[in-house]
Structure 1
Amino acid sequence: MRHNPSLRDGHHIRLIEGGQGYFESLVAAVDQAQSHVLLETYIFDVHGAAALVAEALERAALRGVRVCLVVDGVGTPKLSEAWSQRFARAGLDWRVYSPLGTLGLLMPNRWRRLHRKLCVVDGHTAFCGGINILDDWYDPHYGSLARPRLDFAVSAQGELVGHIQHSMLQLWWRLQGAMHVRERKIPQALRSFKTAGLPLSWKQALPLPDGQPLPSRAALLLRDNVLHRSQIERAYLKAIGLARQEVLIANAYFLPGRRLRKALVHAAARGVRVRLLLQGRYEYFMQYHAARPVYGALLAAGVEIYEYDASFLHAKVAVVDPDSDRSWATVGSSNLDPLSLLLAREANVVVADRLFAQKLHQRLSQVIATQSTPISSSWGQRQWQQRLRDRIAFGLMRLALFLTGHRY
């Protein structure tokens, strides 16, 4: 079924900042679950505060709630033996999306990862964003952090919860079918693949509690390698193209393709204030260095670039014209780089609600003012060693795209 990403009324969307707030909301929802919990995440690291989520899933499964967990084969190649046993005893079902196998990432088809972070509880409450099940103060590669990483998610009620559930169940049954094929259980595999293709009844939008803001207009945007190959990128291009006052983007791994770069340059040329909040802390060689060769052209066009250096930036959010009736905002898992926009499974929620857009805009502006470093027009005069590393990373990224057969 082709998903229609049109904005629709009748939603309650709440902005969540950081893992602590996300985990508290997620645990509260899971503890009230009566029927089912579906959870997808790139990283499931049961360390520190993230253990609270694992424990909530275990409690739900023990009381008879159907709990289905999907993790990515790169982000989470395996769970610890202790937690695998606990989940098995509780009756929790979990699957690894695209395990790497013997050759690992040497095979370009293994670069297509499950990067979205989604959860649906009982078909009426959903979560979507960029936050992994990973403690904010901990990084698997760098250990304890001095400050928590910056990231966002949303909780949602309304029609798009059904869209999210439909997408998650499709993936779940396809993974079930693939598992049965590996086990040579062909009849079961055929039933699973057939189930994945069936239309599902969608829940009606829930009435909002008294005193809540008026329902928001919202939609789910997906990126996959079948029906939704460019949905998220097109949404960004349209929003930037219609901008009249301001575009503010916070993105962890930023390497926009030609069309996105042109859209940002054209927006700045027609007088729109364009601000980018990007990663300032070194995390990965490719993502850190490959983005920097595009800074020069953007700065020359009048785009403002700020690097967040208080901790790791992991946000994938944007706001356009927050004080306008045409306000537009998005929160999700998709970076503006070729891995997200061409290869990975991603999910973003788009919200057309002035109060929501203003809240996100206010928070990002505060971060820019207090925790970020502006990049000046003298960027191109850095030491030649730095520029060389940037060019090497940029070239490697282009080579990787060539190997996948994509143009960007």
Structure 2
Amino acid sequence: MKRPWAPGNKVDLLINGEQFYPRVFEAIAQAREEVLLETFIIFDDKVGQQLRQALIDAASRGVRVEVAVDGYGSASLSDAFVSSMTQAGVGFHAFDPQPRVAGMRTNLFRRLHRKIVVIDGVRAFIGGINFGIDHLGEFGAMAKQDYAVEVTGPVVTQLHSASKRLMSAVLQPPSQVHPQLEPTGEVTCVVAERDNGMHRKDIEAYYIEGIRMARERIVIANAYFFPGYRLLRELRNAAQRGVEVVLILQGQPDMRWVRAVSRLLYNYLLRHGVHVYEYIQRPLHGKVALIDDEWATVGSSNLDPLSLSLNLEANLMIRDRAFNRQLHAHLQELLDQHCKTVTLERMIRGYWWRAPLIFIGFHVTRFFPRVAGWLPAHRQRLQSLQPEVRPSTNTHANNTDLHEGPT
């Protein structure tokens, strides 16, 4: 059940942690009533510690602060890290935390993967950036390339509502912030969620709707690309009717299996006129796209089975020529300076031994949404964490397995 588009917003593109973190920390420092924050991962590193202090400072001056992290993605946060916040009055909640089995995290499926921050119900951030130093250039060659947006205006009501609904069971008393927002700009937006309830297909539906209306260009930059058959077919159809379809995918992946899986689809795409490029400067973690000269999206949703069929995700869908132009200029710069072209001739080499894998991979995209219903399910619940009841006490310094899955 999709929401209505909301006009009258202001949207600023934020590229990588260098632009994202200062704006988020500034907004938290200016909060007067409430901070709602959702993320997949918080690391106990330079960035995580700055976030923790900003949240503690806000709670100390009487701001209501509620944080939701994923019980799988942030399983390695220490008791000391959490207790320093809860003792200052920060509400800290984990989505479906589970005990480890033989030291391994077992709750892989249906994760809280979205990244949303809402300040006082009037200012919000949404995108794909977690809170960790690996989103800063100083991290080195494996620093992630990623995106978020800062937004004000009527659409913030949708983001506030989404976060309140997720945290409803732990917000005691309920949030007293009820935004009635005046226009702040000229951008038309809508929040698209994917959950395991009423919004199972919303993000995919917006993509398919946008691709079908495309007349000139489609540019998708996505970290983990293994979409369902319906979306693949729409990309093929767009290319065949003369739309320039460009995919920017991982060429220097943070997990090698990601590129291997995506490449199972390259033959199909290239044969039908889709242009495929691999970004090789650093690991691509972004989840952005644009269509023609107005439509764009920035968010947390990869185009893979986990994001499209299992995880809780959130994207901002944007209609604005200026934003589209800014994002396109940036992606064109990546193409010109930091991408290599994937050709059909290159993919055909060794095709004889890859053909069975390609056949299997293609049909997995057709049937996975149906199979997803058989995978382990659980209630979409948050557990308020106190150190004595936490499922894990490992610290980030001693445990780096948070990188095992898509982030």
Q: In structure 2, what residue type is equivalent to 1:265?
A: R
Query: 1 CA distance for matches of 2:50 and 2:226?
Result: 34
Please, which of 240, 252, 270 is the counterpart of residue 241 of structure 2?
A: 270
- 1:117 equivalenced with 2:115 (yes/no): yes
Q: Give runs of aligned pairs for residues 353-392 of structure 1, distance below 5 A.
A: 353-383=320-350, 387=354
Q: In structure 2, what residue type is equivalent to 1:119?
A: V
Query: 1 CA distance for matches of 2:62 and 2:286?
Result: 35
- Report the 3-state secondary structure (helix = DSSP H, G, I; strand = E; otherwise coil) of the residue aligned with 1:52: helix
Query: 1 CA distance for matches of 2:274 and 2:148?
Result: 26
- 1:166 equivalenced with 2:168 (yes/no): no
TM-score by structure 2 length?
0.84
After superposition, the C-alpha distances for 1:182-241 in whole angstroms (9 at most, x for unaligned) are xxxxxxxxx88xx69xxx975222453xxxxx4211110000010000000010001000
Equivalent residue pairs, number: 372
Match of residue 373 from structure 2? 405
TM-score by structure 1 length?
0.83
- Report the 3-state secondary structure (helix = DSSP H, G, I; strand = E; otherwise coil) of the residue aligned with 1:335: coil
After superposition, the C-alpha distances for 1:271-317 in whole angstroms (9 at most, x for unaligned) are 11000000112323543322111110110111110111111100000
- 1:341 equivalenced with 2:308 (yes/no): yes
Please, which of 118, 129, 149 is the counterpart of residue 154 of structure 1?
A: 149
Structure with the bigger RCO (C-alpha within 8 Å, sep 6+) is 2
1:391 Cα deviation (Å)? 5.5
Contact kept? 2:250, 2:259, Cα under 8 Å: yes
Pairwise CA RMSD: 2.9
- 1:205 equivalenced with 2:177 (yes/no): no
1:89 Cα deviation (Å)? 2.5
Match of residue 29 from structure 2? 31
Q: In structure 1, what residue type is equivalent to 2:86?
A: A
Query: 2 CA distance for matches of 1:280 and 1:390?
Result: 20
Query: 1 CA distance for matches of 2:232 and 2:141?
Result: 34
Query: 2 CA distance for matches of 1:317 and 1:145?
Result: 23
Cα 1:389/1:149, change in 2 over 3 Å = farther
Cα 1:201/1:25, change in 2 over 3 Å = closer
Q: Which ranges of structure 2 fall in alignment gaps of 5 or more residues? A: 376-407
Q: Give runs of aligned pairs for residues 208-247 of structure 1, distance below 5 A.
A: 208=184, 214-247=185-218
Query: 2 CA distance for matches of 1:94 and 1:397?
Result: 38
Cα 1:149/1:285, change in 2 over 3 Å = closer
1:392 Cα deviation (Å)? 11
Query: 2 CA distance for matches of 1:380 and 1:67?
Result: 51
Contact kept? 1:157, 1:206, Cα under 8 Å: no
Match of residue 248 from structure 1? 219
- 1:145 equivalenced with 2:145 (yes/no): no
After superposition, the C-alpha distances for 1:214-271 in whole angstroms (9 at most, x for unaligned) are 4211110000010000000010001000001100000000001111111101111111
Cα 1:385/1:65, change in 2 over 3 Å = farther
1:166 Cα deviation (Å)? 1.2
- Report the 3-state secondary structure (helix = DSSP H, G, I; strand = E; otherwise coil) of the residue aligned with 1:260: helix
Identity %: 35
Q: In structure 2, what residue type is equivalent to 1:375?
A: V
